Amino acid sequence: MNGPLHGSALVLLLAAAVRALTPPSWADDVKDCRSEESAWSDIGHSFAACRRLADDGDPRVEYKVAVMYNFGLGVPPDYGEGSVWLRRAAEQGFAPAETAFGDMFRQGMGVDRNYAEAARWYLKAAEQGYGTAQHSLGAAYAAGRGVPRDDVEAYMWLSLAGADADRDAVATRMTPGQISTAQEFVREWKPSSQP
């Protein structure tokens, strides 16, 4: 057939072109893996797509893969594998991963319990201004867990996290001078840039 395409040949050619332009069925899963707004309940079905993307080194995707392993979303729960992926994302300075990795050390999930290591990871994320890490670090200072007990540091980090009730509980054992010092630290604090 050397002339123009007719009838069924044209339909077949157009159908093939549409299939070629249509993203694969897992394309939305890939978008979910990279999106910061995805709901965890929506992403569990995307494990295979996210796992493939995680090898590219995107800390957001590595973090999501870790959460999927830790909570059994689309894959059987595996804290050991989850901790591997959290470490990868945390070592790139991704604050949610640093905080979650600190939580794993604090709870002894997938890694040996180590409060000092938990506080170290919380500090990395807290210095970036990540509120969840600031709260966890403030609680560590308040309890002396992994760091020396320091009410001024606890007050500062809890204030920055907006954890007013926890901050006020620490303040009950502080002198007015300590509170004043902590409030000054809060006023002067500035987040660090990510590594």
| Structure confidence by residue, pLDDT tens digits, 92-105 | 999 999 999 999 99
* Predicted pLDDT at 3: 52
pLDDT digits (tens, 9 = 90+) for 3-60: 554 555 444 444 444 444 433 333 344 456 766 554 445 555 578 888 888 888 889 9
Q: Is the pLDDT of residue 151 over 70?
A: yes
- Produce one character per residue of 103-133: b if its CB has 16 or more CB atoms within 10 Å, e if not: bbbbeeebbeeebebbbbbbbbbbbbebbbb
Query: In the structure encoding, which two tokens stand for residue 124, read together?
Result: 């990395």
pTM for this prediction: 0.78
What local confidence, expressed as pLDDT, does residue 114 receive? 98
**pLDDT at residue 87 tops 50:** yes
What is the three-state SS of the chain?
CCCCCCHHHHHHHHHHHHHHHCCCCCHHHHHHHHCCCCCHHHHHHHHHHHHHHHCCCCHHHHHHHHHHHHHCCCCCCCHHHHHHHHHHHHCCCCHHHHHHHHHHHHHCCCCCCCHHHHHHHHHHHHCCCCHHHHHHHHHHHHHCCCCCCCHHHHHHHHHHHCCHHHHHHHHCCCCHHHHHHHHHHHHHCCCCCCC
Burial (CB < 10 A; 0-12, 13-18, 19+), residue 99, is buried
Residue 161 has pLDDT above 70, yes or no: yes
